Every structure is written in structure tokens, then in C-alpha cells.
Structure 1
Amino acid sequence: MNINEAIDLLKEKGYKTTGKRKEILAYFEKADGYRTAKDLIQFMESRYKGISFDTVYRNLHLYNKVGILETTELNGEKQFRMNCTHHHHHHFICNDCGKTKKIEVCPMDEVQNTLAEYAIEGHKFEIYGLCPVCQSA
């Protein structure tokens, strides 16, 4: 998803697109991988002195709820990234820097065969480790 698609989705769902909301979207559009709320707060404080944690968390929750951001748990902390909506895939996530790499393989074909009589309503598949840059550091 890009920033224009995200703005259109917000408008479609009846939400305003304020300057702060656009800045948050721009931050995640440029981010290479998952980012924490703390990362976003540091970014936003450089542009909006005195921005509240509540404003940042409220917008993160909204973006996740409407499908703009996807989340994962990394090192015991919830992290966010722009949602990849163009086709189904999964991610390798670096434990150090949070960068991601698409994985085109999906294990669900095998799982669906194994659970043929079950109604699967969704899934999440992520692989964690160190990217080549972090391995060499």
C-alpha cells in the first residue's frame, strides 16, 4: 500500500486526513521494515513539538484497524509496517534492524490438507533471524 491508497482508504472509512496523519503515513511508507511506536514518536516529535503519546497510539490503532498498517510482535514489542495488499505473501523479519524480505511460499496448502475438516479463518507466517547486513555487523 502506498500513501495515496492509505489516504483514500481513510476517506472511504469516514476519517479525516490531517497533517499529522499524513506525516505518519509518509513515515511508514519510507520505512524499510517494522517500526515501533517509540520510533514513530521520535520521528513525530521532531516535527510536532509536544505531540502526545496518545495521539500516536490512537493513530497506530486506527491504521491497524482499517488495514493500513500490519503488526507483528518482535523482541516482546508490538511493531508496525505499511500493509502489503497487492498479493498474498509472508515475511522474513530481521531481529536486529526490523527489515523485512518477502517470502512467496505459503505453508497453508499443506496445512489445509492436514486440517481439511476445519474452517480456517486466517493465518500468519513469519520467519525471524538476522539479515545479511546485521550478520556481518
Structure 2
Amino acid sequence: MNTKGALQLLKAKGYKYTGQRELLIHCIYDEKRYVSAKEVLGVMQKEYPNLSFDTIYRNLSLFEELGILETTEFKGERLFRFACSDEHHHHHHIICIKCRRTISFVECPMKNIFNVPKGFEITGHKFEIYGYCKDCA
């Protein structure tokens, strides 16, 4: 998915297409890393000085619900990034703990999970590796 697809999805689901939402989608798309709502607010307030944190957070949550964004939690803070939906395969992420640059990888540790309790059905999982990218090491 790209920004155009994200905006079309928003409209198809019956949500208003606004300049603020368009800018928010572009802000996230242009980053190749997880970003906080506070970082997004800082960028967006340059164009919309009266924009509130609550408005940003509500829209980020909506975009996550629609599958436009992915989230993770790092050091107690919820972070957002543009969904990797254009990669039509199962994958996970390696995340730099300094710059939050995110790299996809396809190797899945779930194939090595044994002894799942009887009667438990696994319906999904999330696996992330944290460390330092080559630029931050």
C-alpha cells in the first residue's frame, strides 16, 4: 500500500478526506521507522498549529484499525509505522533502539515453537528483534 491507496481506503470506508489526514499519512509514509504520536504532532503543528495530541492519536488509532499503520510498544510508548502490506508474505521486524529504523525479515521463529499447550490454537503472533542498525552501532 502507498499513500494514495491509504487515502482511497479511508474514503472507501466512509471517513472524511481532510488535509490533516493526508499530511498525517504522508508523515508516516515518509519515515522508514516507527514514530511516536508526539513526533507526528511536532511535524504536523508546523502546518496546523492548533492541532491537538488527542486528534493525532485518534487518527493514528483509526489508521491502525483500518490496516494502514502497524504499531509496536517500545519503552512503554506506542509507536506507529506505515503497514508493510505491499509485502505479500509473512514477515517480522528488526528495530534499531536508537533511531527506530525498521527492517523487515522473513525468517519466522514460530516454526521452532514446540509443545504448544493442548487445546490452545495459535491464531497469530508478532516477533520483533531490537538492537542497533549499522549507522547507530
Residue 12 (structure 1) shift = 2.1
Structure 1 length as normaliser, TM-score? 0.91
Q: Which residue of 1 aligns with 2:136?
A: 134
Q: Which residue of 1 aligns with 2:100?
A: 98
Q: Distance in 2 between matches of 1:114 and 1:70?
A: 29
Q: Which residue of 1 aligns with 2:44?
A: 44
Name the amino acid aligned to 1:109.
K
Structure 2 length as normaliser, TM-score? 0.91
Name the amino acid aligned to 1:95.
I
Work out whether residues 70 and 82 of structure 1, in 8 Å CA contact, stay in contact via their aligned partners in 2: yes
Work out whether residues 33 and 99 of structure 1, in 8 Å CA contact, stay in contact via their aligned partners in 2: yes
Residue 117 (structure 1) shift = 5.2
Aligned: 1:13 with 2:13: yes
Residue 89 (structure 1) shift = 0.8
Q: Which residue of 1 aligns with 2:72?
A: 72
Provide the aligned C-alpha RMSD in A: 1.4
SS in 2 for 1:21: helix
Residue 70 (structure 1) shift = 0.5
Structure that is richer in helix per residue: 1
Aligned: 1:83 with 2:83: yes
Q: Which residue of 2 aligns with 1:53?
A: 53
SS in 2 for 1:123: coil
Structure 1: state its 5+ residue gaps.
none
Structure 2: state its 5+ residue gaps.
none
Q: Distance in 1 between matches of 2:108 and 2:9?
A: 27
Residue 110 (structure 1) shift = 2.6
Runs of 4+ in structure 1 deviating by more than 6 angstroms, as ranges, are: none
Work out whether residues 41 and 56 of structure 1, in 8 Å CA contact, stay in contact via their aligned partners in 2: yes
Identity of matched residues, %: 46
Q: Distance in 1 between matches of 2:44 and 2:14?
A: 24
Aligned length: 134
Q: Which residue of 2 aligns with 1:31?
A: 31
